Structure formats: C-alpha cells, structure tokens
C-alpha cells in the first residue's frame, strides 16, 4: 500500500501504447503510482470507486463517449477529484471546452514532459488539501 505522499493516478486513454508509455514514464517517479487504467469505452466511475485515485489523467480525443464527456461525468460525480486532460489539439477552444467539462488542468501532449508532472503534483496537493 502506498503512503499518503504517493499520488494515485488513473490513466484514461484509448490507445494501449500511449497508456503503456505513460505508465512506464510516470511509474519512474517515486511519488506517483498508477492505480488503474481505462480505454474510455466504459464508465470510469466504478473504476474510480474501486481504485480511489488522487488524479485522473484523461485523453480528450477518444472514440465512443470521448474524453470531454467522460471528464464531465467524472466531474458531475466527483467534483473535487481533479481531471488533468491531455490533448494533441492545444488551442483556446479545446482548453475552454475542457474547462467547461470540469477539467482541473489542460496539458498539451507535445508539451507534456515537465509540465505534466508539475500539473499532476499541483492538482494532487489541491485535492488533498480540499476540505
């Protein structure tokens, strides 16, 4: 069992190779633990209930309900749980739509390396300090 300093992450991306890459990269960080993964093709809320993440890392461009819809579902059910969205499309429209869906933060995939780690950690701190 991870200690309280460990940030529990749930990965949601439709591409297995992307999830695998994120798991390998983020798993190298001593304060991060991947506690679950989803391809986004089913309701992620039961998975959230099962694994209790501190942060959900969500791809926006997915077939089916899509990351925007899943983000909105998560936010409606767990409004304090931060969803950090990843997108290839880094523009004002996508950022606005993600924010309206309830995303806590937006990170462009091309800019992910240092920014994503900092964003995950900041969102986890905010979530844990929320009353």
How does pLDDT run along the chain (131 residues), one tens digit per residue? 345 689 999 999 999 999 999 999 999 999 999 999 999 887 899 999 999 999 999 998 887 778 899 999 999 999 999 999 998 888 899 899 999 999 999 999 887 778 999 999 999 988 877 65
The reported pLDDT for the residue numbered 70 is 93
Distance CA 66, CA 41 (A): 8
pLDDT at 131: 58
* Maximum Cα–Cα distance across the chain: 40
In the chain, the domains with their CATH numbers are 7-129 (3.40.50.2300)
Q: Which pLDDT score is estimated for 90?
A: 84
Q: What is the pTM of this model?
A: 0.91
> What does the pLDDT read at residue 1?
38
Q: In what order do the strands lie in the sheet with 32-38?
A: 32-38, 7-12, 55-59, 83-87, 105-108
Sign of the alpha-carbon torsion through 60, 126, 33, 78: negative
């Amino acid at each position: 069992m991870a200690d309280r300093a460990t940030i529990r992450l749930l990965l949601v991306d439709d591409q297995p190779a992307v999830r695998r890459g994120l798991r390998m990269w983020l798993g190298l960080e001593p304060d991060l633990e991947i506690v679950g993964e989803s391809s986004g093709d089913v309701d992620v809320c039961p998975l959230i209930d099962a694994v209790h993440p501190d942060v959900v890392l969500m791809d926006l461009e997915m077939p089916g309900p899509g990351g925007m819809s899943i983000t909105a579902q998560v936010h409606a059910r767990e409004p304090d749980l931060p969803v950090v969205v990843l997108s290839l499309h880094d523009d004002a429209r996508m950022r606005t739509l993600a924010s309206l869906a309830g995303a806590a933060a937006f990170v462009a995939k091309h800019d992910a390396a240092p920014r994503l780690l900092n964003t995950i950690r900041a969102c986890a701190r905010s979530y844990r300090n929320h009353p």
